[in-house]
Structure 1
């Protein structure tokens, strides 16, 4: 085994990091200048403050990237990673739909589909890598919470 093998193994994480970073960047651009809009919405008492979203999503995006990479390392590109990629696209477009266009109902459709595909991804990842599936569970939980918040905001606004 060459001394470069461990480096190459971790370099292969880069495409997953870049894909997740692209989704995150779209989200950041989608919420730029929308703090006042978010705070102006009729929200439930359990809605988190806007400053909390950045740190939570940063941690979740790292976990999402590592999960995809772990599965890719074991199986290469597979149907499980196709589902993973589709849910990541839904993740990326949710923020512009919700904040950029103010389409709370359409955002709710997007996030429900995302939630279903995250569940499918967990299910498909589990036989390949229990760790990868487990890394997605906090993401699925947060999206469950975000779905309830989206539904409340859509109904109340």
Structure 2
């Protein structure tokens, strides 16, 4: 498969599955009734933010696949996407805030490990994950605050 097709497939996969999981696990009325910290962003922000992040995640995945398919970085990429796709069903679908916190903490750790592992081999890929790490750090704080407040 050629490089543009690989990039396109990774982006479509990540954005497509991410959007599907988001639609299946909408926050809904249950989430609205939870006590949330004052720094909770408006709901409309999550869709655009995640779309941009999913594109960056897809690009990083494709670039890692093309350059280093069997690497620890590629394994970490697959692990982070599994954890990423698991968080919404756990938190919103099953309404499990504490297990959701465990999932998102694990996700953050894997993202940071991916960045460190890729930094030595492909700094561009590592940099693509910096906004993702920042957003997931914020989301972890938000999840922890919701657990604490409820």
Please confirm whether the aligned pair reaches a TM-score higher than 0.5, indicating the same fold: yes
Gapped runs of 5+ residues in structure 2? none
Secondary structure of residue in 1 paired with 2:103: helix
The structure that has the greater radius of gyration is 1
Give CA-to-partner distance per residue, 1:55-90, whole Å, 9 cap, x none: 000000000000111122222232211111111111
What's the counterpart of residue 26 of structure 1?
Answer: 21
Give CA-to-partner distance per residue, 1:116-149, whole Å, 9 cap, x none: 0000111111122111100100000000000000
TM-score, normalised via structure 1 length: 0.88
Change (3 A) 1:154 1:145: same
TM-score, normalised via structure 2 length: 0.92
Gapped runs of 5+ residues in structure 1? 1-6
Residues 24 and 61, structure 1, Cα contact 8 Å, conserved in 2: no
Equivalent in 118, 130, 152 of residue 123 of structure 2:
130
Secondary structure of residue in 1 paired with 2:36: coil
> Any residues of structure 2 matched to 1:113-128 within 5 Å, and which?
113-128=106-121
Q: Does 2:90 match 1:107?
A: no
Q: Does 2:119 match 1:150?
A: no
What's the counterpart of residue 15 of structure 1?
Answer: 9
What's the counterpart of residue 64 of structure 2?
Answer: 71
Aligned equivalents of 1:49 and 1:37: distance in 2?
Answer: 16
Residues 98 and 104, structure 1, Cα contact 8 Å, conserved in 2: yes
For the aligned residue pairs, the C-alpha RMSD in angstroms reads: 1.5
Q: How many residues align?
A: 149
Moved over 4 A (4+): none
Residues 90 and 114, structure 1, Cα contact 8 Å, conserved in 2: yes
